Amino acid sequence: MKYALEELFLAFFGFLSLVFLLKKNLWHIIDDNEITNSIISFYILWISGLYSSRLVSIFKLPPLLGSLLSGILLRNLPIYELIIVENKELLNLFYDIGLIIILIRSGITLDIKALKKYFPLCLLIGFVSITFDIISTIGICYKLLQFSFYISFLYSLILSCFSPSIILPIIISLKKEKVYESKEITTIILTSASIMNMFCITIFTIFVSIYFENVSSYVEMQKLLLFGILFGITSGYGLNFIMVKIFKNDKENSCFKNCITLTVYCLLMFFGSKYYKNNIIGSVGIITFIINYMFNKKNKQDSCNEDDIFQYGWNNFIEPILFSTMGTTLIIKQITFDVIFIALLITIISTIAKLVGLILIHKCTYLNCKEIIYIGFSFTSKATVQATLTSILALLIIQKNFFIEGQSNYFIDKTITTITIISIITSIPLGYTLMTFFSYFIFKKELQSTKILNDNSEIEKNSIH
């Protein structure tokens, strides 16, 4: 409680300092200066998202849920327009950086040994899950929302992604039970999730580049991708050489050096390519993953964990702003029953579709039907990737004036954002409940046999003693 009050005081003091430094009127902080208005707005969104995330953590809920709800609450307050100003360009920049950080963390945290050992199995599980999920989501978007097939396909790629940050605490607790690790279920879940996310994100970025950037020919597209790859490699190696020279004799900061090198390397690759019309990470999605995969492979024996630094920055800076700004797009009075129904329908149907697909292939694996069902349950939660990619797609739709399509009266950018928010709010508790509640019933025999073995070993020890 003491630390919470201290941090709250620092946050309020920081707000007053910003008001003083930016020469704002405390009772009328929004004026004609767009830059200072954006700084104040982002600070308010960041602080509200950060403290809301810590508040919900007390109740054992995912922190990002608190940030999302804080944004929704702010947006529906009467004073919202008096304290918050939306800056589309800065939001677009922030979402791009958020996506790059997701790619970096996906590459760093990937278990190399598990990938080699279970790659065929995880590839099969990931491919089948994505295929059934995409088909079901495309059908709902195309028929009920009357989106074009291309928009339906792009949006289905977003919703087919998986959020490891939601179920990671559950996975850690399950790893303590030997029965779960006997067939390495948790390892298969995380490895399959990494493959699924990298596939969906990469395909999404490439197809968005083609659809929204109006690339005239296949040859031109290849030139842009090739230039993006060459620019990233050249600038990355140059930066890496400089960083190695700077930290040559400073072993204590090697972890920090690695993180700075990776971040700037990927940012240079993206923004350098973007300057030459390769805007939506067409090449960066693949190359960033390869770079970080090789980095992880090379440094797997290192004592420091670079992802801890990225995780700290993500949890305390990027995630609160990302989800609070996404929450501000949801105006409760404008939500219709149809949109809520479709969002719930997508969540339920996609979960069932994944289960059906995985059950059909369980005979092709060494896993039994119960274990396959449990893996399907673990792919339910949606969060970080959906928030980032949906925001990018919505901004592109606005820029290209694709507000309404066909005979539908839905605004596409608002609709996909609203559906994503509702999907996140509903899928998080659903995925958490399915994984925790059904874990005992699915592995009941194994847990009982493990308990009997443990009891027998304890009796033997006591008799010997």
* Residue that terminates a domain, selected from 83, 114, 144: 83
Same-domain check for residues 20 and 127:
no
Q: What DSSP designation does 32 have?
A: S
**Domain span holding position 37:** 2-83
268 domain residue, yes or no: no
Same-domain check for residues 238 and 384:
yes
Contact 383, 64 (CB under 8 A): yes
Q: Please give the Cα distance from 162 to 165 (Å, whole number).
A: 9
260 domain residue, yes or no: no
Same-domain check for residues 224 and 364:
yes
265 domain residue, yes or no: no
Region class of 406: left (phi > 0), else alpha (psi between -120 and 50), else beta? left
Q: Please give the Cα distance from 107 to 109 (Å, whole number).
A: 6
Same-domain check for residues 351 and 439:
yes
Same-domain check for residues 65 and 147:
no
Measured from the Cβ of residue 150, the count of other Cβ atoms closer than 10 Å reads 12
Measured from the Cβ of residue 203, the count of other Cβ atoms closer than 10 Å reads 17
The SS3 assignment for 25 reads strand
Same-domain check for residues 70 and 147:
no
Kindly tell me the sign of the dihedral angle through the C-alpha atoms of 316, 322, 328, 332. negative
Whole-angstrom CA distances from 336 to 135, 156, 405, 406, 410 are 25, 21, 18, 19, 10
Same-domain check for residues 102 and 46:
no
98 domain residue, yes or no: yes
Q: What is the pLDDT of residue 116?
A: 75
Whole-angstrom CA distances from 232 to 209, 213, 225, 261, 266 are 17, 20, 11, 12, 7
Among candidate residues 168, 208, 222, the one with its CA nearest the CA of residue 388:
208
Same-domain check for residues 102 and 63:
no
Among candidate residues 54, 125, 32, 157, the one with its CA nearest the CA of residue 378:
125
pLDDT per residue, tens digit, the chain (465 aa), is 556 676 777 778 888 888 888 888 777 788 878 888 888 888 888 998 888 888 888 877 778 888 888 989 998 888 888 888 887 777 777 777 777 777 677 666 666 676 677 888 888 988 899 899 999 999 998 888 888 888 899 999 999 887 766 666 666 566 555 545 545 777 788 778 777 877 787 788 778 777 776 544 444 555 555 555 565 556 555 655 665 565 555 555 566 666 777 777 677 766 666 655 555 454 555 555 565 566 655 555 443 466 677 778 778 888 888 888 888 888 888 788 888 899 999 989 998 999 999 988 888 887 888 888 888 888 888 877 787 788 878 877 877 766 554 444 557 888 888 898 888 888 888 887 787 777 666 665 555 544 444 444 454 445 554
285's tokens? 């999605």
257 domain residue, yes or no: no
Same-domain check for residues 26 and 40:
yes
461 domain residue, yes or no: no
* Residue that terminates a domain, selected from 83, 98, 114: 83
Which residues are within 8 A (CB) of 196 and not within 5 positions of it... i.e. 6 or more apart? 126, 129, 130, 160, 161, 162, 379
In SS3 terms, 264-323 reads as HHHHHHHHHHHHCCCCCCCCHHHHHHHHHHHHHHHCCCCCCCHHHHHHHHHHHHHHHHHH
DSSP H helices, 144-217, are: 149-159, 164-175, 178-182, 185-212
The full length of the chain comes to 465
159 domain residue, yes or no: yes
Measured from the Cβ of residue 348, the count of other Cβ atoms closer than 10 Å reads 15
Same-domain check for residues 34 and 166:
no
Considering its fold, how many domains does the chain have in total?
2
302 domain residue, yes or no: no
Same-domain check for residues 31 and 172:
no
Same-domain check for residues 288 and 406:
yes
* Residue that terminates a domain, selected from 83, 117, 140: 83
63-75 and 34-57 helices, crossing angle to 10°: 130
Contact 402, 412 (CB under 8 A): yes
In a 10 Å sphere around its CB, with 0-12 CB exposed, 13-18 middle and 19+ buried, how is residue 188 labelled?
buried
